[in-house]
Amino acid sequence: MHWETDPDRLLAFFDEQSTGSTFKPSQQPTEIKALYSRVLALRPQSVLEIGTNCGGTLFLFCRAAAPNATIISLDLPQGRFGGGYHPARIPLYRSFASPSQRIRLLRMDSHQPAALARVQTSLRGKSLDFLFIDGDHTYEGVRKDFYTYGPLIRDGGLIAFHDIVPVPLALGGEVPRFWGEIKARFPHQEFIQDPTQNCMGIGLIEVPPGGLRL
């Protein structure tokens, strides 16, 4: 695929796709554009995405990452919150990486010790530069993802959460509860397209010197 990095052109590319081949991000346009721009400025050497679904953000993170980066997707087959892409999509997702990038597609439960071990093996002893948490949306689920994989992030790295805007509990969204607890402890930003929207939103934490100190 053409190695385009400009956020406006990338969003236009998603809109131009045919319905049968789409892998458009499941985020509001201005929200994902703001996050993508921050990640692009970081040019991470290592990326972990928890929750890949249709692959739109995985596509973007490959383009934002360094040309020789390691990009890891951790997605639970038959996940309750949109996870579990069909195995037939694996070749498509592998095609997102540049020739010099390493992409690892781990179809596992992020909460299992084996998943953490596979992530660490894929990193080859290196720290993470960027972590995107968009998997289990229960309070305990998002909390466990943060406390399990957050320690892998280097000083100055970024951690993003999707779905920080409060939604009815019947819809299964408890990310806002955890975000409200954790954001005050670290430098952070919120990307919310419309203050009246009742879903989505992206929260971003910048890891301070000395690490998260969890």
- Examine the pLDDT at 137 and tell me if it is beyond 80: yes
H or E, element range at 11: helix 7-16
Phi/psi for 112 (5° steps) reads -85, 140
In a domain, 2, yes or no: no
Which residue type does 82 have?
Answer: G
Q: How many CB atoms lie within 10 A of CB 200?
A: 20
Tell me what pLDDT residue 205 has.
Answer: 96
Tell me what pLDDT residue 1 has.
Answer: 47
Q: How far apart are CA 130 and CA 1, in angstroms?
A: 23
- Examine the pLDDT at 19 and tell me if it is beyond 50: no
Tokens of 118: 């596979």
In a domain, 173, yes or no: yes
Mean pLDDT of 16-23: 59
Give the chain's domain count: 1
In a domain, 213, yes or no: no
In a domain, 17, yes or no: no
In a domain, 202, yes or no: yes
Provide, rounded to the nearest whole percent, the portion of the chain with pLDDT above 70: 89
Half-sphere exposure of 105 (CA within 13 A, CB side): 22
In a domain, 156, yes or no: yes
CATH number for the domain including 135?
3.40.50.150
- Residue 188: closest CA among 164, 212, 211, 204: 204
Tell me what pLDDT residue 163 has.
Answer: 93
- Examine the pLDDT at 143 and tell me if it is beyond 70: yes
Instruction: Indicate the length of the chain as a whole number.
Output: 214
Cα-based angle 117, 213, 209 (whole degrees, multiple of 5):
105
Tokens of 120: 């660490």
Strands of 70-74's sheet in order across: 102-106, 70-74, 46-50, 128-133, 153-162, 202-206, 188-191
In a domain, 114, yes or no: yes
Tell me what pLDDT residue 79 has.
Answer: 58
pLDDT tens digits, 53-111: 889 999 999 999 999 999 999 998 875 655 678 888 999 999 999 999 999 999 999 99
Tell me what pLDDT residue 179 has.
Answer: 96
- Examine the pLDDT at 152 and tell me if it is beyond 90: yes
Mean pLDDT of 138-157: 96
H or E, element range at 131: strand 128-133
Mean pLDDT of 36-52: 96
Which residue type does 51 have?
Answer: G
Q: How far apart are CA 191 and CA 200, in angstroms?
A: 9
pLDDT tens digits, 159-199: 999 999 987 665 568 999 999 999 999 999 999 999 888 88
The single residue listed with the structure tokens 């968009």 is: 134
In a domain, 19, yes or no: no
Tell me what pLDDT residue 169 has.
Answer: 62
Average pLDDT, the chain: 88
Per the structure, the complete domain to which residue 162 belongs is given by: 29-206
Tell me the Cα Rg of the chain.
Answer: 16
Provide, rounded to the nearest whole percent, the portion of the chain with pLDDT above 90: 68
H or E, element range at 160: strand 153-162
Q: How far apart are CA 159 and CA 149, in angstroms?
A: 10
